[in-house]
Amino acid sequence: GAVVSQHPSRVICKSGTSVKIECRSLDFQATTMFWYRQFPKKSLMLMATSNEGSKATYEQGVEKDKFLINHASLTLSTLTVTSAHPEDSSFYICSAAEHDQETQYFGPGTRLLVL
C-alpha cells in the first residue's frame, strides 16, 4: 500500500513552546490529508482536514490558532501545536489517500509530551 511518513515520532517539549509535526506522502500525491488525535486507550478523533493550497477545515472544538495546519505541497502537510500545554500531550496521527482511491493510509504517529 501507499506509504505515509510522519516526523518526529516522539517529542518532549516545555510548556509554552511550539512543536511542528510533518506528514508526508512518500509515493503518491495527496491533495487532502487528515490530522487525528488519540488519547490513551481512546479512539481516533478527527482534528482537521488539510487541503493543499487552501485553508484547513477544522472540526468543532478544535482551535485553529492553536493547531496551525499548512499544506504547502501535494506531499507535505504540517501541524504546529502553538504554545503547547500539558493538556496537549497526546498521540497525533495523519492520514492520506491516493487520488481516486478509497483506502486511507496512516503515518506512524507522533507522541507529544508537554512538560
Partner 1 sequence: AQKITQTQPGMFVQEKEAVTLDCTYDTSDPSYGLFWYKQPSSGEMIFLIYQGSYDQQNATEGRYSLNFQKARKSANLVISASQLGDSAMYFCAMREPPFMDTGRRALTFGSGTRLQVQP
Please enumerate in sequence order all residues whose Cβ is within 8 A of that of 96, keeping only pairs 6 or more positions apart, or say none.
2, 4, 23, 25, 28, 30, 32, 33, 34, 77, 104, 105
From CA 115, how far away is CA 46, in angstroms rounded? Answer: 24
Query: Would you give the binding string for partner 1 spanning residues 44-73, x where CB under 8 A is met?
Result: xxx--x------------------------
Residue 100 interacts with partner 1 (CB under 8 A)?
yes
Residue 76 interacts with partner 1 (CB under 8 A)?
no
Residue 80 interacts with partner 1 (CB under 8 A)?
no
| Nearer to partner 1 (CB atom), residue 8 or residue 16 | 8
Residue 97 interacts with partner 1 (CB under 8 A)?
yes
Among 56, 79, 95, 112, binds partner 1 (CB under 8 A): 95
Cell of 105: 493510509
Residue 86 interacts with partner 1 (CB under 8 A)?
no
Please enumerate in sequence order all residues whose Cβ is within 8 A of that of 40, keeping only pairs 6 or more positions apart, or say none.
91
Write out the residues near partner 1 by the rule CB under 8 A: 1, 31-32, 34, 36, 38, 42-46, 49, 91, 93, 95, 97, 100, 102-106, 108-109, 111
